[in-house]
Amino acid sequence: MKADIKDPSLDAAGQLRIEWAAREMPVLKLIRERFAREKPLKGLRLSGCLHITSETANLALALQAGGADLVLCASNPLSTQDDVAAALVVEHEIPVHAIRGEDEATYYKHINAALDHKPHITLDDGADLVATAHKERPELIGSIIGGTEMTPTGIIRLRSMERDGALKYSVFAVGEADTKHLFDGRYGTGQSTIDGITRATNILWAGKNVVVCGYGRSGQGVARRAQGLGSHVIVTEVDPTRALEAVTEGYRVMPLSEAAKIGDIFITVTGGLKGIDEAHLLLMKDGAILANSGHFNVEINIPTLESLAAKKRRLRPFIDEYTYHDGRRIFLLGEGRLINLVAAEGSPASVMDMSFANHALCAEFMVKGKEKLAPKVYPVPNEIDREIGRLKLVSMGITIDTLTEEQRKYVESWEAGT
Amino acid sequence: MKADIKDPSLDAAGQLRIEWAAREMPVLKLIRERFAREKPLKGLRLSGCLHITSETANLALALQAGGADLVLCASNPLSTQDDVAAALVVEHEIPVHAIRGEDEATYYKHINAALDHKPHITLDDGADLVATAHKERPELIGSIIGGTEMTPTGIIRLRSMERDGALKYSVFAVGEADTKHLFDGRYGTGQSTIDGITRATNILWAGKNVVVCGYGRSGQGVARRAQGLGSHVIVTEVDPTRALEAVTEGYRVMPLSEAAKIGDIFITVTGGLKGIDEAHLLLMKDGAILANSGHFNVEINIPTLESLAAKKRRLRPFIDEYTYHDGRRIFLLGEGRLINLVAAEGSPASVMDMSFANHALCAEFMVKGKEKLAPKVYPVPNEIDREIGRLKLVSMGITIDTLTEEQRKYVESWEAGT
Amino acid sequence: MKADIKDPSLDAAGQLRIEWAAREMPVLKLIRERFAREKPLKGLRLSGCLHITSETANLALALQAGGADLVLCASNPLSTQDDVAAALVVEHEIPVHAIRGEDEATYYKHINAALDHKPHITLDDGADLVATAHKERPELIGSIIGGTEMTPTGIIRLRSMERDGALKYSVFAVGEADTKHLFDGRYGTGQSTIDGITRATNILWAGKNVVVCGYGRSGQGVARRAQGLGSHVIVTEVDPTRALEAVTEGYRVMPLSEAAKIGDIFITVTGGLKGIDEAHLLLMKDGAILANSGHFNVEINIPTLESLAAKKRRLRPFIDEYTYHDGRRIFLLGEGRLINLVAAEGSPASVMDMSFANHALCAEFMVKGKEKLAPKVYPVPNEIDREIGRLKLVSMGITIDTLTEEQRKYVESWEAGT
Amino acid sequence: MKADIKDPSLDAAGQLRIEWAAREMPVLKLIRERFAREKPLKGLRLSGCLHITSETANLALALQAGGADLVLCASNPLSTQDDVAAALVVEHEIPVHAIRGEDEATYYKHINAALDHKPHITLDDGADLVATAHKERPELIGSIIGGTEMTPTGIIRLRSMERDGALKYSVFAVGEADTKHLFDGRYGTGQSTIDGITRATNILWAGKNVVVCGYGRSGQGVARRAQGLGSHVIVTEVDPTRALEAVTEGYRVMPLSEAAKIGDIFITVTGGLKGIDEAHLLLMKDGAILANSGHFNVEINIPTLESLAAKKRRLRPFIDEYTYHDGRRIFLLGEGRLINLVAAEGSPASVMDMSFANHALCAEFMVKGKEKLAPKVYPVPNEIDREIGRLKLVSMGITIDTLTEEQRKYVESWEAGT
């Protein structure tokens, strides 16, 4: 088997990790059990460019159980769990091309190794397989049935390709499924961001002024969790409707130039650039803590922070203390990288369970309905979304009501305008 | 001036009501002030079929200030506040055709009186003006620029007409504006439902098992408010994703057949039929309280409740006690009608402020851009939605951030896929 | 039967009220059932000076069932429910001396009528029976076994009498029982204060700045309930530890001179004098709403508010608008009287259930153990407190664990220091 | 200087820790600054038997600044931070006798080394210095002015000694100060318990059934924090009033024998023995997680869990998986030891700040007023408690109101019963 991983001997540790994650991923488990019986992916080659983690491993095992011939590479050079990669290769005979900390050349070599597999289906977390296939390996496209894409950013790019007529095969927008987007920001990022900051600092949240920059779904999640720990939450926004939602939830809303003066902890989840910039850095109190849980480490203007500081030292593993010339100290966590990944363990497996289930069921859907697919970005079919919700409830032992025939007719007549 | 109201001498009391509502409707006040300067509706005839309440009166005054020649009729025979109608007629010279408790013939006579005004613009809360103009008064349609519609149900019907090619002029779906639908169910209905039940019963919410049937936006609002009062909240749903959201918020989710056995208070917000039916009624504990805050008084199967009872008596103004043959007592509030309207005062003015502002700004928008409108259902333009959010924030003394040029480019480049 | 009430013909309405309250008073119901079997108060004369309300009626019925020969008078001239008084007299043959709105002479005449009963036990809500017996009718004291007292203020005065050697019989401090003081402020006053303000104003709480003056138990309750409705809560305090608790709960804490500038709604629960005084009144925003839910209508300096106003008018039944010379309008609710009593229905019966149960069980306790009682203020015996908690749980269908013999020994050995 | 520590070369790392904790301990910093000016402890020998951690180090530095001649030993053989000990010795010249993991003989040798210092004041966290001085070194007692005691258990034992006439010098019950006991359980233990479980497991809390065994202050804190993360909280209790408080807060309350069947996570905070026993272990679902945050690792019956398991393995650093013969897996965290200490970092420094400030100010109080002290257990003087609250508020930049002369008289007249 061709594979390129750090160290196959790490497999036992990796296997334990996969098992622990499995415990919180009952939807994938149920899908895996059905796939094992029905083999819907039999005879198909799949290539996945995903974070090589214990959660992804559980997706891989479900796909494999469904009969898929699967190859994996990393969607980010820093997120690979080498022990999980080893377990996939050694215990489960799934070829993996991924080494934590790999350089750019290796990264793209691995993507091409995944494409060498001549996939019928591509699974993406950032559109790298789709993009590389289109740009560099057009000969592969003819045999590709379709793909899946996890990230909002990837979906935006694919839509842009679709508008330009450049997209040559169908891709399912997993990132926009209800069972993905309603849960991962508000519950996954919300909890894990607070968790990362707590692990980094061991601060008491109760009574602190916590400034949440950006009130999208992640911002909503972070704000709720901080409030749930007794913090006094301040939200900054650029969108009036979101700002109003934050006010109506009971948070204070103000410009960051005012919040900067009173915040104890600042958390950026804007999805943009320089949410915290020089003007704000200059206003902060001695002891302010900065963390980012948005897209990239550009949400806080770190170069400017560096230039403002007379002195810098590392106080704890994920805390850098910057001392201004006037003596004020600003604490930057995790070098401004995603604090929930850097200092904690990212979104809990329970959330990834549903996100990844969308990949698995979309792959099955493509195979069953392949003649009808056009080269465009498809929403995840509503019945898949509902099925995942249903399976999650089943796994929790929760049953819900169903409409009676009379009730269904009443609602439908309504929609029919009669 | 032609008008048909209960009693003009009620005007002083009505005027006080209008003023009190005005205090919580700063967005309409700001629009009214601008309209008074700019007169964007000058020379236009508007007909509004709306609940004739103190909040609607503030919309009417804003439209009048904008130069509109306005006539009003009631969108519901039971919701008219006769004193407000009097104040509109006597103090503000706005013709109103509405009498609380009017019969069906009078109701339609009043709608036709509003159409006799030969409106350029129709304002609807249930699509009655649009429907009557299309069905019975097609000669009016040629001069109508467009309309607005407040209710989801009305919008569904208009979309149905659009699909059938039957819709002859443009209508703006006010009911789907963010500043309407993100706030009125979760915050308006949420609070006022709890308020109505409290006024009816004076029960302590803390420690009670509260069963919320339906987890749409109103259900979310009711559940949050009940939890905020210390209740233990149980949600019933038919949609798996919504059910899962409820679980993830920390509520218990179960079939109503189980919840029926343990609930102290049941609140229906399903938007459907017989959410609480015979099977559930038979399972309830002695002392269970039932209230509806959904669409109509069909959410609880009241005829069956009547038939199950050996005895019925009115205990308090909005409480009917039904005693089963085995001695259990079930308490139905407000005869199953919308409890927030029956026993309290409906959605607070602060919420209606934004909903109604959408009517006013859509009317202005239609006039400014009338050449481009096709006969279809339009979403409220995003700039109007944002403007209303902005005005609400301004009225609260809240300022927010704006994107810098650099930040805007960063986000846009992102969306461009580069 | 001697009695002095407003109108005996109101008895049917009063009886419905008593029944509705009974539904939320299961502890008294369980006590009443046991008392009916065991007759622990047989042959004893009891006099109660209490608010004559539907909740008190349920206490009276429990005492009567226990064999007591009971007479009631009012502890406040304004709180009597005349229909309840009628029902007690006509339906239940309990002599009542109380008329809503009675003048001071009548009030004291009624207290003396209750003392004419030559009670073995006095039940007080403000120490009026104890005080009058000591001051004016010392001849009665010899036959009095003991009394109960509901209010903190009354208890303070009785302790003062005890210190001075003036107290001549034992009184049980019902107001300090856990099942009373842990629940009535936080849950009863908390909910009913918000309820009163909502009924008076119909404002939306979400997004409002709510200033809670005083963070004792009632203040804690009001703050929690306002936050639960989406308000942004600001607390003012004079005690540092309480202020710190408020901060740690996530509320903002600041001097009232600052809060005065930003508050939308002010609620006084200080228990003191002029919590809101001239300096604060001068700083308030146009539209500020003031309500009191503390001890008396002295918490807001109303005479000064009157003198500051250029104009005053009544806008709604419980809203007085004061307009300053500069045009700002301040809205005072319920003339500064307790807003939960004035505009709503006071603490829900469910809370009073436990408070009143303490009276009933203390009366029984006195009789059983009368030889041992000294003339001092006694705490409610711990076993009574626990029994009431237990009964409330039973009535909710809730069972709890009990310590095993091994666990009990472990805890006790601990306390023994071994 | 005599000292017995692990490794003096760890001092730099220890110093960083002390500094980071100092940032969250502003009350001790303010006390330290005043002590440095006023030297209230000049010429006095102090011996402290405390957890040797970064937070304690900040207390030590405040005492040293006050002029104290201080020696420290460990109050627990497992809690010593060897790097902090090194920093105290090397950087600050405070003799420390403490080595992490020391055996029992060494532990007592260290206590005696602290007593060899012939203290004027003893600082205890478990009464070891007091007890050893009384039992083994009575010759020291004559020169001891007084002591302080941190733990409820220690205080119980001292009270027992007092009752028996065995206590020979005064001890201040720091553990019962409001600024200690109102904050450390509810906020410190509450947050850090959740934190420890999250670090150990990375589970998502939202939607989980969390069973909190025991509803004392720590249980209240854990329940609030779990609810704040979206968990569904179930409380078990043996005390009816506490159980009722939990119900009234909106939690479900039931016997553990029922909760055992539905809980996903169980957290013991009972302060007793075998809160989770064989009967409960047998009822649990596959995948149940058990953690203890109460007094000792006896709250879960671990020997029985061992005997029930067919298989045991360590899955993650703080997770042991026990597999029953029927295949169910139970996960025990941190071997049942205090999970907030084992898997996280214990109570945040911000909470310890106030607890330790009580030691410092009580030491000062004893010196100033030593002639008046009797050999008994004293409450922390109210003025110290208030002063600590005041300093904490000052450090947060929060000012509060003070009573005017008129207000103070009003309240006092009240208390005087006039």
User: Of A23, A319, A348, which has the smallest distance from its Cβ to D287's Cβ?
Assistant: A23
Q: Min CA distance, A277 vs chain C (Å)?
A: 27
Identity of the amino acid at D177: A
* Mean pLDDT value across residues D300-319: 96
Residues in chain D, total: 418
Residue B128 has pLDDT above 50, yes or no: yes
Q: Do A241 and B179 touch (CB under 8 A)?
A: yes
Quick check: B43 and B67 in contact, CB under 8 A? yes
Residues of chain C in contact with residue D410, where contact means CB-CB under 8 angstroms, are 272-273
Taking CA atoms, what residue in B is nearest to D249?
B230
Task: Using CB atoms, list chains with 3+ pairs below 8 Å to chain D.
Answer: A, B, C
Q: Do C225 and B225 touch (CB under 8 A)?
A: no
Neighbouring residues of D415: CB distance < 8 A, sequence distance ≥ 6: C156, C160
Where on the phi/psi map is residue D127: left (φ > 0), alpha (ψ -120 to 50), or beta?
left
pLDDT at B415: 53
pLDDT at D146: 96
Q: Which two tokens stand for residue A410?
A: 């009443």
Q: Are strands B45-50 and B146-149 parallel, antiparallel or unpaired?
A: unpaired
Q: Min CA distance, B406 vs chain C (Å)?
A: 32
* Mean pLDDT value across residues A237-261: 97
Q: How far is CA B156 from CA A178, B171, B290, B385, C121, in A?
A: 22, 12, 29, 20, 69
pLDDT at A32: 98
User: Of C206, C244, C249, which has the smallest distance from its Cβ to A250's Cβ?
Assistant: C206
Quick check: A359 and A385 in contact, CB under 8 A? no
Site from A247, A254, A265 to mutate, C interface, most C CB atoms within 10 angstroms: A247
The DSSP code for D47 is E
pLDDT, tens digit, 9 for 90 and up, residues B407-416? 988 877 755 5
Sheet holding A329-333, edge to edge: A252-253, A232-236, A209-213, A265-268, A288-292, A329-333, A319-324, A309-316
Q: Do D202 and A316 touch (CB under 8 A)?
A: no
pLDDT, tens digit, 9 for 90 and up, residues B45-55? 999 999 999 99
- Model confidence at A414, in pLDDT bands (50, 70, 90)? low
Q: Min CA distance, A193 vs chain D (Å)?
A: 12
Between chain C and chain D, how many beta carbons pairs sit less than 8 Å apart? 145
Q: Which two tokens stand for residue D281?
A: 């272990």
C78 against B88, higher pLDDT: B88
Residue A34 burial by Cβ neighbours in a 10 Å radius (0-12, 13-18, 19+) = middle
Q: Which two tokens stand for residue C335?
A: 């003339």
Q: How far is CA C357 from CA A220, C36, C87, C148, in A?
A: 45, 15, 21, 11
Residues in chain A, total: 418
Task: Using CB atoms, list chains with 3+ pairs below 8 Å to chain B.
Answer: A, C, D
Residues of chain A in contact with residue D345, where contact means CB-CB under 8 angstroms, are 202
The CA-based angle D131-D133-D138, given to 5 degrees, is 130
Residue C417 has pLDDT above 50, yes or no: no
CA dist., res. B30 & res. B35, Å (int): 8
| DSSP E strand boundaries for C250-295 | 252-253, 265-268, 289-292
Quick check: A338 and A51 in contact, CB under 8 A? no
Residue B132's CB: how many other CB atoms inside 10 A? 19
Residue C343 has pLDDT above 60, yes or no: yes
pLDDT, tens digit, 9 for 90 and up, residues B288-304? 999 999 977 899 999 99
User: Of B385, B410, B417, which has the smallest distance from its Cβ to A241's Cβ?
Assistant: B385
Q: How many CA atoms lie less than 13 Å away from C348 in the CB half-sphere? A: 28
Taking CA atoms, what residue in C is nearest to D239?
C386
Q: Which CATH architecture has domain C189-342?
A: 3-Layer(aba) Sandwich (3.40)
- Model confidence at C3, in pLDDT bands (50, 70, 90)? very high
Sheet holding D69-74, edge to edge: D96-97, D69-74, D45-50, D121-124, D146-149, D170-173, D377-379
Domains C8-180+347-395 and C189-342 share a fold: yes
pLDDT at B414: 53
ipTM field: 0.94
User: Of C19, C191, C204, which has the smallest distance from its Cβ to B206's Cβ?
Assistant: C191
Q: Do A179 and B244 touch (CB under 8 A)?
A: yes
User: Of A179, A240, A253, which has the smallest distance from its Cβ to B241's Cβ?
Assistant: A179
Write down the H helix ranges in B229-287. Answer: 240-248, 256-262, 278-283
Q: Do B274 and A236 touch (CB under 8 A)?
A: no
Residues of chain D in contact with residue A195, where contact means CB-CB under 8 angstroms, are 195, 198-199
Q: Which two tokens stand for residue A42?
A: 């039999």
Quick check: C206 and A248 in contact, CB under 8 A? yes
- Model confidence at C414, in pLDDT bands (50, 70, 90)? low
Q: Which CATH class is domain C8-180+347-395?
A: alpha beta
pLDDT at D418: 42
Q: Do C400 and D237 touch (CB under 8 A)?
A: yes
**Is the CA virtual torsion B69, B74, B75, B79 positive or negative?**
positive
CA dist., res. A140 & res. A47, Å (int): 12
- Calculate the average pLDDT of chain D: 95
Select from D318, D249, D259 the least CA-distant residue to D285: D259
**Is the CA virtual torsion A255, A320, D32, D349 positive or negative?**
positive
CA dist., res. C162 & res. B358, Å (int): 68
Site from D16, D53, D229 to mutate, A interface, most A CB atoms within 10 angstroms: D229
Q: Do A350 and D204 touch (CB under 8 A)?
A: yes
- Calculate the average pLDDT of chain A: 95
Select from B64, D271, A255 the least CA-distant residue to C412: D271
Residue D253's CB: how many other CB atoms inside 10 A? 28
pLDDT at A397: 94
Residues of chain D in contact with residue C386, where contact means CB-CB under 8 angstroms, are 239-241
What is the share, in percent, of chain A residues with pLDDT greater than 70?
98
Residue bearing tokens 């489960």: A92
pLDDT at D355: 96
Domain residues of chain B, as ranges?
Answer: 8-180+347-395, 189-342
CA dist., res. C267 & res. C276, Å (int): 9
Q: How far is CA C95 from CA C48, C73, C109, in A?
A: 11, 9, 14
* Mean pLDDT value across residues D5-28: 96
Q: Min CA distance, B272 vs chain A (Å)?
A: 6
Residues of chain A in contact with residue C233, where contact means CB-CB under 8 angstroms, are 250
pLDDT at C226: 98
CA dist., res. B261 & res. D268, Å (int): 30
Identity of the amino acid at C76: N
The CA-based angle D401-D406-D411, given to 5 degrees, is 80
Residue B341 has pLDDT above 70, yes or no: yes
Quick check: C124 and C150 in contact, CB under 8 A? yes
CA dist., res. A336 & res. A196, Å (int): 12
pLDDT at C370: 65
pLDDT at A417: 46
Select from C84, C23, C356 the least CA-distant residue to B201: C23
Q: Which H or E run includes C260?
A: helix C256-262
CA dist., res. C72 & res. C87, Å (int): 13
* Mean pLDDT value across residues A34-63: 97
pLDDT at C418: 43
pLDDT at A418: 42
Residue D335 has pLDDT above 60, yes or no: yes
Q: pTM of this prediction?
A: 0.95
Q: Do D204 and A195 touch (CB under 8 A)?
A: no
What is the share, in percent, of chain B residues with pLDDT greater than 70?
98
Select from D114, D86, D120 the least CA-distant residue to D100: D86
Q: Do A19 and D315 touch (CB under 8 A)?
A: yes
Q: Which H or E run includes D23?
A: helix D11-23
Residue D266's CB: how many other CB atoms inside 10 A? 28
The CA-based angle D29-D35-D37, given to 5 degrees, is 110
Residue A371 has pLDDT above 80, yes or no: no
Q: Which two tokens stand for residue A324?
A: 């201004």
Quick check: A111 and A132 in contact, CB under 8 A? yes
Residue B134 has pLDDT above 70, yes or no: yes
pLDDT, tens digit, 9 for 90 and up, residues A297-313? 899 999 999 999 999 99
pLDDT, tens digit, 9 for 90 and up, residues B160-199? 999 999 999 999 999 999 999 999 999 999 999 999 999 9
Q: Which two tokens stand for residue D158?
A: 């001292």
- Model confidence at B228, in pLDDT bands (50, 70, 90)? very high
Residue bearing tokens 């879960």: D300
pLDDT, tens digit, 9 for 90 and up, residues B30-40? 999 999 999 99
Neighbouring residues of C241: CB distance < 8 A, sequence distance ≥ 6: D178, D179, D182, D385, D386, D389
Integer-rounded Cα Rg, in Å, for chain A is 23
Q: Which two tokens stand for residue D235?
A: 């409380």
DSSP states of D308-325: HEEEEEEEETTEEEEEET
* Mean pLDDT value across residues D141-156: 93
Residues of chain B in contact with residue A244, where contact means CB-CB under 8 angstroms, are 179, 183, 389, 392-393
CA dist., res. C211 & res. C235, Å (int): 6
Collapsing DSSP to helix, strand or coil, A183 comes out as coil
Q: Write b or e for each residue in A352-388: b if 16 or more Cβ atoms lie within 10 A of its Cβ, otherwise e.
A: bbbbbbbbbbbbbbbbeeeeebeeebbebbeebbebb
Residue A155 has pLDDT above 50, yes or no: yes
Identity of the amino acid at D20: W
Write phi, then psi, for B360 (nearest 5 degrees): -65, -45
Q: Which two tokens stand for residue C29?
A: 């119901």
Taking CA atoms, what residue in B is nearest to D230?
B250
Residue bearing tokens 């993009």: A131
Taking CA atoms, what residue in C is nearest to B221?
C229
pLDDT, tens digit, 9 for 90 and up, residues C159-172? 999 999 999 999 99
Residue D320 has pLDDT above 70, yes or no: yes
Q: Which H or E run includes C122?
A: strand C121-124
